[in-house]
Amino acid sequence: MQPGSMDKAEFVAMFGDVFEHSPWIASQAWESGLDVRHDKAAGLHRVFADVINAANREQKLSLLQAHPELAVGIASAEELTAASQTEQRGAGLDRCSAGEFAEFQRLNESYRARFGFPFIMAVKGYGRHEILDAFRARLTNTEEQELQAALDQVILIGLFRIESKFE
């Protein structure tokens, strides 16, 4: 795969789903000018991160709001992208006890009310107990701290998804 030599339509078709419902990021990444440095996951990830970091506040909030809540339950699971379903299953979020599921729902509601977007965490390599601990801790952040923490997590999720496309 050589993203640096793809035309825009091909590039967006391949990478437009890296960030939840936000193909504009792939479009802007392509428009920034890709070359052989972007034919490896790390180089391509850097340009995606640059696009996100350069976005205005409204675009950043829109990106965050496009993400699903964690441990949403079976009824809402069909709303998740395939990548989100796989990531959440990998962290065991589909196997929450009734008490854990209730706590996730309570935390999701509190978090969204406080920050205006869902709690976002790159869950790869974490179990549900560790995710709950991080969830509780991040609820104490200021709005600006959490905006940056959530964006950092989105960028990390993007790295994992780009790497999987290169495998």
3-class DSSP state of 120:
coil
Which spans in 16-142 are helix H? 23-31, 41-54, 57-65, 74-77, 82-90, 98-115, 128-138
Look up 67 and say whether it is catalytic: yes
Backbone dihedral angles phi then psi of residue 116, each to the nearest 5 degrees = 85, 5
Structure tokens at 142: 């200021």
Cα pseudo-dihedral 46, 51, 54, 56, rounded to 10: -150
For residue 102, the Cα-to-chain-centroid distance in whole angstroms is 23
Q: Which among 21, 38, 45, 67 is annotated as catalytic?
A: 67
Active site residues: 67
